[in-house]
Amino acid sequence: MAVKAKQKNVWLLCGDDAVLVAEKKNELIRRYFKGNPPDAAVFDGTGSFPEYRAALEGQSLFSPDTAVVIQNPFFLKKALRKDDEKPYAAFLETLRALPPEVFLVMTVDGKPDRRTKAVKGLLDFASLLECDFLRADDGAERMEEYLYHHGKRLDPEARAYLEEVLGTWSEISAPFLETECDKILLVCGDEPVVTKALLQDSLTDYMDQGVFAFFDRLLARDAAAVLEGASRVFTDPASTLKNTGFLAAQFRRIRMVHELDRAPLSQAEKAALLGVRGAWQMKRLAAMARQVSEREAEDFLLALFRWQYGQRSGGGGELTDVLLRFCMGGKRARPVRRSE
């Protein structure tokens, strides 16, 4: 989240994290009016320059304080028309001269085009707050800091597990992570340490999509659990694409572990090649490799790739057949009866 503060009572909020944009919009208004904000005049993708100026210049009969919210204004979504240039220039002059009892916040979904005259003119004096999704590493750090400030600490296994979970997400919202942390705190109770087992119990299926518990059952060759869990993990084309990608990545790493074990490399060199930063993650990969042979990993990847190719060409059978063949191929396989 990037902040550039200039004029205190004119703000532009933008970014891909719509939840964070809405949260920060309310926070800015509340803070500016010291916890007692007036009812805001809201323009949701509507309004004209004269209407905006009227809202900013008009005062309530009951209070001199004025708050105006302009959501996704047309002049920040595309280039100004010729007829709008003079009204926009007058609007900017109004913003520059706003008295301290008037507060304006504009919000934009995504990023405004900074190449346009409208955006350049506004950012000459307006304060800017960019609300973007977090990276996986930043997400784990944010959750760890939040828990630490509430008297809890993550043990190494829990931290590594959290990084693994968040690493599968392309969009990580800060408010969502804080909500998950609050749930973790409730589950943790008086315990000072957050363990991996506690995280597995407290994280919602939405957050880890159930794919991590599913993967553990797949490694254990628990065919009944795999068959039961598949319908919750592979729910639609998007989740199927993401979660089959996760399985493929894990089996490729297992195959790499076997290959690297034959190479004259140090643990640090192996960790660098595997993209692993912590000792616990290396132990986890070693344990996974003990459960799956190199040949089994290769066979599973080949079967998965054949299934994906078949899906793209209009066939390919059922994904559960690929998963169950892996389960039934190992010594630890557990029997399963498929319902008709």
Which pLDDT value is given to residue 334? 47
pLDDT of 206 above 60: no
Mean pLDDT of 172-197: 86
Tens-place pLDDT, residues 115-158: 899 999 999 999 999 998 887 668 888 889 999 999 999 988 88
Model confidence band, residue 316 (pLDDT cutoffs 50, 70, 90) = low
Cβ contact 77:33 at 8 Å = no
Sheet holding 41-44, edge to edge: 2-4, 126-130, 7-15, 102-109, 66-71, 41-44
Rounded to the nearest 5°, which phi and psi values hold at 234? -110, 75
H or E segment and range at residue 127: strand 126-130
What is the bridge-based pairing of β-strands 193-194 and 153-154?
parallel
pLDDT in tens, 68-105: 999 999 888 888 888 989 999 999 999 999 999 999 99
How far, in Å, are 44, 89, 92, 99, 167 from residue 85 at the CA level? 21, 6, 11, 24, 45
281-300 mean pLDDT? 88
Q: What is the pTM of this model?
A: 0.59
Query: Among 11, 129, 131, 26, which residue's Cα sits nearest to residue 73?
Result: 11
- How long, in residues, is the chain? 340
